[in-house]
Amino acid sequence: METFKKLKEFYWPFKNYFFWSMGFLLLITGITVIYPMILQITIDDVVIGGKYELIPYLALGFIGIMAVKGIGTFIHQYTGDLFGITSVYKLRNSLYEKLQFLPFRYYDNAKTGDLMSRLTADVEGFRFFLSFGFAELVRFILLIGISVSVMFYYSIPLTIVTLITLPFLAFVTFRFDKAVHPAFRGIRKSFGKLNTKVQENISGINTVKSLSREDFEINKFNDSNGDYKDKYIFTSNIWAKYFPLMEFLGNVSVVLLLAYGGYLVINGQLKPGELVAFYSLVWYIMWPIMNLGFVVNLFSQSKASGERLLEILEAENEIKEKDGSVYLERLQGDVEFKNVTLKYTEDDAEALNEISFKAHPGKVIGLLGSTGSGKTSITQLMTRFYEPTEGDVLIDGINVKEFSLRSLRSNIGFVLQESFLFSSTIKANISYGRPEATMEEIIEAAKKAQAHDFIMELPDGYDTMLGERGMGLSGGQKQRIAIARAICVNPSILILDDATSAVDMETEFKIQKALMEVMKGRTTFIIAHRISSLKHADEILVLENGSIVERGKHEQLLKNNGPYQRVYDIQYQDQKEILHSHTG
């Protein structure tokens, strides 16, 4: 119940829908039981009792009552649905907002698939419970209560005899539910596995074909396919075992009813019409009981769903804006790190260790180091994607914690290692950070990123759709659009995190030449593996295991006998040798 209490803000504002729905449920359940009673009156009073003058009243009254029931059912169901979908609308917006602002640290540990299943299946589970779960529970109690009362009213002994199978039925139902849910989970899991298998196969089809492993893959697929089939048949066998049994137990009731009820009628203790009414009433009790397991299961599932949703809603966001945070339209781009240490989690080793440096506006800082040495971490502290464990990061002399996030981040143009583009037009992707940018500005940015020419060669130019239904761009093309996207926000600080890794050397050269222009008047951080990308930096920081091991200009570092020189030698010796032997 705790879970539902915590989620109250999402459904309680719409409680009126719920109360309407419940009110009408009471009405229609009451009416349901009227049908067998009318049947009984027709047989006993009209036909046997000879009161044929009642017929029109009975027939018309019946239709009238059923019309009321129809309207009642409509209102009950519709308001019940509304209760669920309105709450879900509110819940979804809140979840989305939460997800937009959760910090990088959260996403480092989250899996897209897991988040998606919470946002879809768990939201749906929660809605289903709001719309149906609770109502089913109420309906169950009402229907059984009213039916049993009516039966008792007709004949107490017959009721007892007829309902003698109920405990057995309840028992079988619970056994069934216990068996069938793990089986269903088995199907879902097996389907998920099969899905992954096929998806991997198709995504990796080039690898499969290049090593000629089609038969191997078909065999693996058949195993998964067979497993799915087996799991399904296993589940349907559970159905086959229990479902006829439940129906049979219901039928046993009917047989008991006929035997004992028939005997009572013969003895004159029961009227024939009452016997017929009983026959209908029995099923009003049997069906909800067969359904009970489903409802109980629904309840426990939606509770689990609610908990998983709360985990997102209550996730902590350690990166908060201070009250009265500084908002500056334009930053100068003066960056300073003072003894900054960063640990991603408590137990991890330091990702950054006592980093200090200063970057004056307009300067270019190069970062070199092997994978995991801390280059990316440095840049992500400037935008405050993470908080330093110790030390301060200052921009324009102000601690980044004091800035409003928007002021800070909109002044920093980030080209991430992995160039993620959205399902939208190229135009919209370039202006992603500044949706109000004009077409001229967009083209200008694309030109600077060496992207304009290839964009113009695409069938729809800047209106070409990217993403799932869009053009497949090469890695290099994507990177260039990502660079254009960063340029388009006209940032004071530009960060290029391995931004030209996927382009060929020639294009890289062109981009670099163009970037020279872009970098003017901005503080730029370049992360790269190629010395050629870094050599013109005003200062190069060489990182190893989170510490700065060397710093200085290209010319200084060349004679330093350190890691920079080693990397340089590896990259250049080859070329020198080749050229010297021929051009000499």
Partner 1 sequence: MKNREQKVNSNALKRFQYSTEQVIEKPFNWKQMLRLFSYMKPYRKNLLPLSIIMVIINTAIRLIIPILIGVYTLDRAVVNKDTGLLTTLVLIIAGLYIVSYGANFFRIKWMNQLGQSVIYDLRKHLFTHVQNLSHRFFDQRSAGSILVRIMNDINSLQELFTNGVINLLMDVILLVGVCIILFSLSPELTLAIMVILPIMFFISTSLRRNIRRSWQTVRLKQSKLNSHLNESIQGIRVTQSFTQERENMAFFDGVNTETFESWRDASKKNAMFRPLVELTNALGTAVLIWYGAHLIQGGNISIGVFVSFAFYLGMFWEPISRLGMVYNQLLMGMASSERIFEFLDEKPIVAESSNPTELADIKGHIQFEDVVFSYDEKRTALKGISLEMKEGQTVALVGHTGSGKTTIANLISRFYDPTSGTVKIDGIDLKDVSLKSLRHQISVVLQDTFIFSGTIIENIRFGNPAATDEEVKKAAEAVGANAFIEKLPKGYETEVEERGNILSVGERQLLSFARALLANPRILILDEATASIDTESEMKIQEALKTLLQGRTAIIIAHRLSTIREADKIFVLDHGEILEQGNHTQLMELKGEYYHLIKAQFNMLNAG
Cα dihedral across residues 448, 451, 457, 459: positive or negative? negative
Query: Which of 27, 37, 47, 549 forms a contact with partner 1 (CB under 8 A)?
Result: 47
**Nearer of residues 258 and 296 to partner 1, judged by Cβ:** 258
The structure tokens 């719920």 sit at 18
CB of 6 to partner 1, least distance (A): 22
**Nearer of residues 110 and 398 to partner 1, judged by Cβ:** 110
- What is the per-residue binding string for partner 1 in 502-541, x denoting contact by CB under 8 A? xxxxx-xx--x---------------xxxxxxxxx-----
For the CA atoms of 564, 565, 566, 570, the dihedral, rounded to the nearest 10 degrees, stands at 110
Stretch that binds partner 1, among 11-19, 77-85, 287-295, 444-452 (CB under 8 A): 77-85
Q: How far is CA 258 from CA 33, 102, 254, 271, 418, in A?
A: 20, 66, 6, 13, 74
| Three-state DSSP state, 11 | helix
CB of 251 to partner 1, least distance (A): 4
Decide: is 2 part of the binding site for partner 1 (CB under 8 A): no
Q: Report the candidate in 318, 445, 341 with the shortest Cα–Cα distance to residue 390.
A: 341
Decide: is 181 part of the binding site for partner 1 (CB under 8 A): no
Q: Report the candidate in 490, 481, 475 with the shortest Cα–Cα distance to residue 429.
A: 481
DSSP state of 425: B
Subset of residues 418 to 447 that bind partner 1, contact rule: CB under 8 A: 420, 422-425, 428, 432-435
CB 511 within 8 A of CB 351: no
Quick one: which H or E segment has residue 342?
Answer: strand 335-342
**Nearer of residues 346 and 506 to partner 1, judged by Cβ:** 506
- Could you tell me how far CA 103 lies from the centroid of its own chain? 16
- Interatomic CA distance for residues 305 and 123, integer angstroms: 7
- What is the per-residue binding string for partner 1 in 287-326, x denoting contact by CB under 8 A? ----------------------------------------
- What is the per-residue binding string for partner 1 in 98-117, x denoting contact by CB under 8 A? -xxxx-x--x--x-x--xx-
Subset of residues 189 to 248 that bind partner 1, contact rule: CB under 8 A: 191, 194-196, 198-218, 221-222, 225-226, 228-229, 232-233, 236-237, 239-241, 243-245, 247-248
Structure tokens at 142: 């009402």
Decide: is 92 part of the binding site for partner 1 (CB under 8 A): yes
CB of 168 to partner 1, least distance (A): 14
DSSP state of 544: E
| Other C-beta atoms lying within 10 Å of the C-beta of residue 484 | 26
Residues that contact partner 1, how many (by CB under 8 A)? 166
- What is the per-residue binding string for partner 1 in 468-507, x denoting contact by CB under 8 A? xx--x--xx--------x---x--------x-xxxxxxx-
CB of 463 to partner 1, least distance (A): 11
- What is the per-residue binding string for partner 1 in 535-574, x denoting contact by CB under 8 A? xx------------------------------x--xxx-x
Stretch that binds partner 1, among 38-46, 165-173, 287-295, 441-449 (CB under 8 A): 38-46
- Interatomic CA distance for residues 431 and 420, integer angstroms: 14
Decide: is 286 part of the binding site for partner 1 (CB under 8 A): no
Angle at 222 between CA 220 and CA 224, to 5 degrees: 75
**Nearer of residues 498 and 550 to partner 1, judged by Cβ:** 498
Stretch that binds partner 1, among 178-186, 268-276, 390-398, 439-447 (CB under 8 A): 268-276
CB 99 within 8 A of CB 381: no
Q: How far is CA 188 from CA 124, 172, 218, 294, 567, in A?
A: 16, 24, 21, 18, 51
**Nearer of residues 337 and 414 to partner 1, judged by Cβ:** 414
| Three-state DSSP state, 348 | coil
The structure tokens 């899905």 sit at 195
Q: How far is CA 449 from CA 138, 433, 445, 457, 517, in A?
A: 64, 16, 6, 16, 11
- Phi then psi for 343, rounded to 5 degrees? -120, 135
Decide: is 78 part of the binding site for partner 1 (CB under 8 A): yes
299: Cβ contacts below 8 Å, ≥ 6 apart = 129, 133, 137
Cα dihedral across residues 89, 93, 98, 104: positive or negative? positive
- What is the per-residue binding string for partner 1 in 342-381, x denoting contact by CB under 8 A? ---------------------------xxx----------
Query: Which of 3, 77, 291, 545 forms a contact with partner 1 (CB under 8 A)?
Result: 77
Decide: is 16 part of the binding site for partner 1 (CB under 8 A): no
**Nearer of residues 390 and 402 to partner 1, judged by Cβ:** 402
Cα dihedral across residues 336, 369, 430, 455: positive or negative? positive
Query: Which of 4, 161, 168, 272 forms a contact with partner 1 (CB under 8 A)?
Result: 272
CB of 167 to partner 1, least distance (A): 19
CB 467 within 8 A of CB 491: no
**Nearer of residues 296 and 465 to partner 1, judged by Cβ:** 465
Stretch that binds partner 1, among 138-146, 154-162, 388-396, 575-583 (CB under 8 A): 575-583
Decide: is 144 part of the binding site for partner 1 (CB under 8 A): no
The structure tokens 């959760």 sit at 102
**Nearer of residues 46 and 310 to partner 1, judged by Cβ:** 46
Q: Report the candidate in 514, 525, 540 with the shortest Cα–Cα distance to residue 492.
A: 525
**Nearer of residues 5 and 472 to partner 1, judged by Cβ:** 472
Query: Which of 3, 20, 81, 389 forms a contact with partner 1 (CB under 8 A)?
Result: 81
